Structure 1
Amino acid sequence: MAYLNFLQSKDFIKCSVVPAGNIVTIKFPEGTEPVISTKGFRLYLDAAGDLDIGGDDYLGYTTIYRNDEVTAAYNGYQLSCDGSIWTPPEPAPEPEPAPEPTLEELRESKVQEMNALQQAAIQSGVNVTLTDGTVEHFTLTEHDQTSLVGLQSQVAAGEESIPWHTSNEEEHCKFYSNADMGLIITQAMAWVTWHVTYFRDLRIYIRSLESKEEVAGIVYGMELPEECQSEPLKVMIAAQTI
């Protein structure tokens, strides 16, 4: 704290003074009524005015820069030495409402949404019942799919003890028999083929819709109208019902 003495006044007022360029902020102790003056002031370290710590530095602060609810919160106000006065910033303009998407835009947005769900469904993987009756889950990330394709030649060659490296870095490599690896590859490829085929037909169906409401109602995995099902998809659906 310091003691402020406004010019043409005999009072030494306890306060804190914080200069910042052409602005000085004056803060008074809590419970003390702020004293406002535009005469300029001197600043002292003691209440008697013997220890001058401001010199002539504050004589030019003669304009009320800001005195409102913000400065009232710290029980003070601000002065400027160049005649400047605080002005509130212009309010930000209201954002323009986003244009209503067209039917075509909604279709393509829905296609992208369904494609993301297709990829997630594929990569989540498939459960495979092995020859000993145990069930294991196999993820089908792009790395997994590439690895499985590469193992097809080993299965075709009749090799036994085929190693499989999963995408889980915390799991060790494991050997699978030729029969088990054949099951894994067959079911994994069938899983991928189903989703790729289904998505392609779904995409065509979405792009044929004539209303925004119909597009909004599309969900991944829904049953497609028969006329929108390709022949391969029909065969796969029929195989599922057997």
Structure 2
Amino acid sequence: MYGEWRKNTPEWLKVFPIEYAGHGGRCNESLASSTGEIIDDILPYILSVARENIILFGHSLGAALAVRLAKKMREIGIEQSVRLMILSGRPAPSCLQSSQTHPSLWSHEELVNRAKRYGGIPEIILNEPDILSFFLHILQNDLCINEELIKEDKVIFSFPIWGMTGEDDYVAPHKSVHQWKEWTNCWKGVSIFPGGHFFLRDEMSVQQIIEGISNILSPLE
């Protein structure tokens, strides 16, 4: 999905989509078993393509991982490399609660119901047992990773944070995303776009996000 953004971005803004092990083009690799494993996997790639003027963008679980990544960058002394962090479709930790039952114990039916509630599972997949099983295995692993990130210790980042969500996103209501303001000295507010949790599929919303980035940041030389 993020690869398509390259078609609409200005020359000064380069988009580098990141795929986790076991996802997308890396689906033949083993899924990560912890948040730390994911961060250790993707940080070297990020630093191989950019050492400064970095914009971190994450949606849903990806937003929580962007925060953990920013913490790691602070830990190793390169927080100043980040110019902006965009957190999409993700409530701040103060608005989250752990699941009563760990996702690793969820049944097939529970996973299907969760996927349907998110609105991220095409109807055709529901009618293909093998494909559905493959999809649910990835989803269950993502939900287990998500449990690690629910109780995140707050830090105050030196760079701006911009929140966003869909107007019909029950996963990340506006007020819950707004609480990310406590994590920065330069809060850029919450933008609300038409649609639900997967509002990023809408090209017009993506164009507005790109324009918003341009408005927040001067062109990066």
Larger RCO: 1 or 2 (CA < 8 Å, sep 6+): 2
Q: Which has the greater radius of gyration?
A: 1
Shorter-chain TM-score: what band?
under 0.3
Using the size of structure 1 for normalisation, the TM-score is 0.18
Using the size of structure 2 for normalisation, the TM-score is 0.20
More helix by share: 2
More strand by share: 1
